[in-house]
């Protein structure tokens, strides 16, 4: 196993992590920003007002993007298994 192969595996793993976590984090940040603006304008400082909409949005995001996330992770695993077959 060469150094370039290890770096290629790490690069693919990091890109996959960004593809999997990125959309969910963006959804959570956008909902948090909207709720923060709403709280600042109405001066309502309730903790659950921030938590519950983010939780619902993340769950909906996982339901909608779940198949994409599974396919992306499966592609990475198939790539890694293909490398194992080549190396052995």
pLDDT tier at 71, thresholds 50, 70, 90:
very high
Nearest CA to 53 among 78, 66, 36, 35?
A: 35
Residue 14: predicted pLDDT: 97
In 1-88, which ranges are continuous DSSP H helix? 3-42, 47-87
- On the 0-12 / 13-18 / 19+ scale of CB atoms within 10 A, 79 is middle
Residues 18-67: pLDDT tens digits? 999 999 999 999 999 999 899 888 888 777 788 899 999 999 999 999 99
Distances, alpha carbon 1 to alpha carbons 9, 30, 67, 80, in Å: 11, 42, 32, 13
Residue 7 has what pLDDT? 95
């Amino acid at each position: 196993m060469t150094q370039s192969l290890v770096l290629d595996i790490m690069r693919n793993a990091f890109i996959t992590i960004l593809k999997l976590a990125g959309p969910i984090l963006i959804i959570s940040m956008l909902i948090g920003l909207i709720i923060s603006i709403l709280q600042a304008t109405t001066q309502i400082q309730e903790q659950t007002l921030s938590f519950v909409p983010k939780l619902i949005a993340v769950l909906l995001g996982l339901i909608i993007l779940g198949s994409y996330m599974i396919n992306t992770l499966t592609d990475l695993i198939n790539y890694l298994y293909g490398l194992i077959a080549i190396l052995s």
